[in-house]
Amino acid sequence: MKNIALKPTKGNKIANRQVISETLLDLGRKNRDLLVLTSDSRGSASMVNFGEELPEQIVEVGIAEQNIVGMASGLAHSGKKPFVASPACFLSMRSIEQIKVDVAYSKTNVKLIGISGGVSYGALGMSHHSVQDLAVTRAIPGLDVMMPADRHEAKKMIEALVDYNRPVYVRIGRNPVEDSYLSDNYEFKIGKAVTMNEGNDITIIAAGETVRVALDTADALLAEGISCRVINMHTIKPLDENAIINAAKETGRIITIEEHSVYGGLGSAVSETISQNYPVPIKILGIPDEPAITGNSKEVFNHYGLSVNNVSNIVRQMIGK
Amino acid sequence: MDEITFLKRKATEIRMELLTMIYNARTGHTGGSLSNTDILTVLYYKIMNIDPSNPNWEDRDRYVQSKGHSVESLWAILADKGFFPKEELKTFSQFGSRLIGHPNNNVPGVEMNTGALGHGLPISVGMALAAKMDGKPYKVYTLMGDGEQAEGSVWEGAMAAAQYKLDNLIAIIDRNKLQITGSTEDVMALEPLPDKWRSFGWEVIEVDGNDVEQLVEVFSQTPRVEGKPTMIIANTVKGKGISFAENVGAWHHRVPSEEEYDLAIEELSKQMEVLV
């Protein structure tokens, strides 16, 4: 895993939401307190099978995001383990006050799964994009924030969250994402970043869908003799500050890539850490402060330079090659 | 002393206590706390199945105060019931105190942090649904304000409670007809409020929310209809018990002067004298 020569082959067809649903179904069979709540979103959350096999453990709330979070907090308060699966754009915005007060402030064990996050709903426009969710959720005390890089990490993350007695917001995309891990045979620890590739010239820090972009960039630049460290920051909060500070000390330059506004997300979190601990040059790549252009995820990523070509160019510029 | 007289005396004591808290702290929601005092007194001293020595007992009845700002009567009652020492009431709204201006679940006896309006009903729906799933006998009580009815999330919760047939859920509206800007009907008209709730699938009953006897009778008869959540519209008087504060909008969060405080305590003492 710490060697991109072992990188997984491309062509994965299984979306993270599918894996999360299967993992929850597996865990739900053994734990009757595990519940899934949907806001007319069981199809888009891939929860149809879960609902058919465990009808007593799925709670349909209708298109009512404030209510889904409020109800989840009440269920959690009375001993249930609710996983709310609702589109990230609505869950992280319409119900943000319920997340702040009923979940984080009241300390209820609610897991919020923001599905179809980032620019997954590319052609549907800004109403359906969620590129502010990391900024908003990570500013709320008591709420952890996570993004799995691929299907293997999605599975590990959900397994870890079932017995993790804290409120968490997890953002996933809609479409299958290329694997970053070879398998799920590795140790996943909440709050512990994963160095996916060792390197000395520069560090690329990514999360979610952009991890594979970072790995492919490192792979492409290896041929030019440029050695890129790649860090998968699957937990945005609590942030693994040591991994960031060590990267700053050891590689001297950092690039962050995220499917999120350049304001307030992964790049901001990394900048906050290095500027106060070990300042080094940093470049934040993400969605600029504008309604994102419409198109499929790949087109939008390419347009904003969240691509191997553009990241490679920036690496070359930053190290002067 | 009969039970009703005991409850009336208790409500009067609580009114004195909350006025003293607000007077000392120089802050508080006087009018709303006075209007909901009788409702809370009946719930905590007669109706709810709770154990102050074991506040997290699984089968306890739950109380969620959705109108979180009227917290003074709740603090006074929780202290009197023994959830925390009465002495602590002196710290109300002081620097670092856990007895803040809204319910705070760092305090034993408080289920959830409230204060943002429109949150209590959805939370209570979740609690009541959990009881149904687990076959637990507990009931969930939630107190909302009338001004709060303008929040859309109230109606999201209302629909879900009916959908899931939560007859173990009892919601109460403290219908004092005043909100901070003025009459609820001028700010954002609510009437016909009972019809609105009925049309959402709730069993609705109106009661004089400052009449202890009526409150005991109504609360003792829930659920009124199997499979339906109960809405008790409690017609109350904002500022109840203190003649010069009654039905005066300015007392929403006015703090009494020394003279007003003395007058209020004197008036409440006289009410107490006849309750024997």
Dihedral (C-alpha) A213, A188, A23, A176: value to the nearest 10 degrees? 0
Rounded-to-integer distance, Cα A147 and Cα A154, Å: 8
Which distant-in-sequence residues (6+ apart) come within 8 Å of A52 by Cβ? none
Domain of A119, CATH number, reads 3.40.50.970
When divided into structural domains, chain A yields a total of 2
A128 touches chain B (CB under 8 A): no
Q: What's residue A3's pLDDT?
A: 61
How high is the pLDDT of residue A2? 57
User: What is the domain-level CATH number for residue A281?
Assistant: 3.40.50.920
Interface touch B129/A71, C-beta < 8 Å = yes
How large is the average pLDDT for residues A281-288? 98
- Which one of A71, A98, A105 makes the best mutation probe of the B interface by having the most chain B beta carbons within 10 Å? A71
- Confidence at residue A321, expressed as pLDDT on a 0 to 100 scale: 82
Contact present, A84 and A112 (Cβ < 8 Å): yes
Which of A171, A194, A227 marks a domain boundary? A171
> A114 lies in which domain range?
16-171
d(CA B206, CA B215): 10
Residue that finishes a domain, picked among A153, A171, A189: A171
Token pair in block for residue A291? 């309604």
Q: Which residues of B touch A55 (CB under 8 A)?
A: none
Cβ-defined contact of B129 to A79 (cutoff 8 Å): no
Helix spans in chain B (H): 3-25, 30-42, 72-81, 120-134, 152-163, 184-188, 193-199, 212-219, 258-273
For residue B29, the SS3 value is coil
Task: Supply φ then ψ for residue B16, to 5 degrees.
Answer: -65, -45
Residue A313 tokens, joined: 């160019």
A55 to chain B: closest CA residue: B133
- For the residues B97-109, what does the mean pLDDT come to? 97
Mean pLDDT value of segment B151-177: 98
Residue A1 has pLDDT above 50, yes or no: no
**Å between B125 CA and nearest CA of chain A:** 6
Query: Does A282 share its domain with A187?
Result: yes
Question: A181 falls in which pLDDT band (50, 70, 90)?
Answer: very high
Res. B249 pLDDT band, cuts 50 70 90 = confident
Q: Which domain CATH number covers B84?
A: 3.40.50.970
What pLDDT, on the 0 to 100 scale, is given for residue A6? Answer: 73
Residue B214, CB-side half-sphere exposure with 13 Å CA sphere: 14
- Residue A170 DSSP label: E
Could you say which of A124, A145, A171 is where a domain stops? A171
The verdict on residue A229 lying in a domain is yes
A217 with A104, same domain: the answer is no
Over chain B, what is the mean pLDDT?
A: 97
How far apart CA A61 and CA B156 sit, in angstroms, is 9
A104 touches chain B (CB under 8 A): no
Here the contacts of B80-88 (C-beta below 8 Å, separation 24 or greater) are B80/B10, B80/B13, B80/B14, B80/B17, B81/B44, B81/B45, B81/B50, B81/B52, B81/B109, B82/B52, B82/B53, B83/B52, B83/B55, B83/B107, B83/B108, B83/B109, B84/B108, B84/B109
Q: Is A11 helix (H, G, I), strand (E, B) or coil?
A: coil
pLDDT tens figures, B167-210 = 999 999 999 999 999 999 999 999 999 999 999 999 999 999 99
Selecting from A67, A76, A106 the residue whose C-beta is nearest the C-beta of B160 gives: A67
Of A211, A252, A254, A201, residue with least CA distance to A235: A211
Is residue A194 predicted with pLDDT exceeding 90? yes
- For the segment A92-97, the average pLDDT, to the nearest whole number, is 98
pTM value > 0.80: yes
Tell me, what amino acid is at A318? M
Examine the domain organization and report whether A311 and A193 are in the same domain.
yes
